Amino acid sequence: MPKFTSVLHPLPQGEGTHVQTVVCIDATDRRIILATQAGLPRVSRPYHKLADELGLTADDVMARLQRMQRDGIIRRISAVPNHYKLGFKGNGMSVWDVPDADVRELGRLIGALDSVSHCYHRPRHLPNWSYNLFAMVHGRDRAEVLMKVAQIADLLGDAVRGHDVLFSTRILKKTGMRLAE
Amino acid sequence: MDHRSELTDLERRLLDSYQQGLPLSPTPYADMAAALDVSEADVLAALQRLQEFGVISRVGPVFRTHAVGASTLAAMAVPEERLDEIAAIVNSFAAVNHNYEREHRFNLWFVATAASDAELAEVLEKIEQLTNIKVMPLPMLEDYHIDLGFNLQWT
């Protein structure tokens, strides 16, 4: 394994906007990610426990987590809710065809909405795929998701040349692990 | 199953207060307990119950989807009768960590992650070869989400 892993991380480009640039994490960061991606130990001093297991000091573990958070590798350290179990059974991937020149401005508008958990600019693949703005919309059921999508359509107004909502019918695979061991 | 109605007041307050972030302190659970005016044991027990219910998946760092290595969303338009077969092939790749069936002509949507762009391209190419179906890569170009937390709408 190389000592340094090249990572893409989002750098703030104004409020609510991230683009990818390259930074580095080292082998120790990698071990910390692997040891924490399934959750922190539920003990009084979780970072001390992790440090013992990794042969580091608790200060080092916490400083590295803090640095990764500052660099955007860690979004936050939190209690991570499972929206489905909380009754938000509807989730629809809304996709929008908006002018490329406006996608950033419109994306920021949509990305700030309460009901939207992810909002990304992605490339079109013409002629099969004309949508360049993706927003994951959550609601208690399909009807609520559709209502929220209609609100987004109103908000975007004339900028929208076309849109669609793709509901998921089956989860075929879902693993939290993102970093290969 | 929906567990909203079974949650205690403390469990709701923990969700409301800490889904956005915990203090990065040597004793995060004691800090949460002090802020919520309960004991650390209460906090640990409530978090364990929330996790057993599946209401929270974990307490810990959320790594940014695109942060480490190269990754992309990708879609395929799969004939209905081949969906299970194709899904099994796609899922067999360790690089694929999410895969959903969606109601659309493009009905298979997955996220693939690899150490480098070249490795990622190789995975997608291999999937095309094995399935004989085109893969449409949709990498994130820009992220617009502002993380203000999820309004859990208890009432």
User: Token pair of A106, please?
Assistant: 């419109």
Residue B106: φ, ψ to 5°: -80, 100
The pLDDT tens digits along chain B (155 residues) read 556 778 999 999 999 999 888 889 999 999 999 999 999 999 999 999 999 988 898 999 988 756 667 889 999 999 999 999 999 999 999 899 889 999 999 999 999 988 888 999 999 999 999 999 999 999 999 988 766 555 555 54
In CATH, what number does B70-138 get?
A: 3.30.70.3460
Which residue in the set B2, B44, B70 is minimally distant from A8, CB to CB?
B70
- Asked whether the CA dihedral A165, A171, A173, A175 is positive or negative, the reply is positive
ipTM: 0.76
| pTM confidence score | 0.75
Show the 3-state SS of chain B.
Answer: CCCHHHCCHHHHHHHHHHCCCCCCCCCHHHHHHHHHCCCHHHHHHHHHHHHHHCCEEEEEEEECCCCCCEEEEEEECCCHHHHHHHHHHHHCCCCEEEEEEECCCCCEEEEEEECCHHHHHHHHHHHHHHHCCCCEEECCCEECCCCCCCCCCCC
A107–B144 C-beta distance less than 8 A: yes
Q: In this predicted model, what pLDDT tens digit does every residue of A11-50 receive, in sequence order?
A: 334 444 444 445 677 889 989 988 998 899 999 999 999 9
A171: number of CA atoms within 13 Å, CB side? 8
Q: DSSP character for A126?
A: T
pLDDT, tens digit, 9 for 90 and up, residues A97-145: 999 999 999 999 999 898 898 899 999 999 999 999 999 998 888 999 9
The nearest alpha carbon in chain B to A61 belongs to B26
Domains of chain A and CATH, by start: 4-70 (1.10.10), 90-167 (3.30.70.3460)
Domain coordinates in residue numbering, chain B: 8-53, 70-138
CA distance A51 to chain B (A): 11
Which residue of B113, B136, B152 is in closest CB contact with A125? B136
Query: What is the four-CA torsion angle of A49, A55, A58, A61, rounded to 10 degrees?
Result: -110
Strands A162-174 and A90-97: antiparallel
Task: Identify which of A177, A117, A114 has the alpha carbon closest to the alpha carbon of residue A151.
Answer: A114
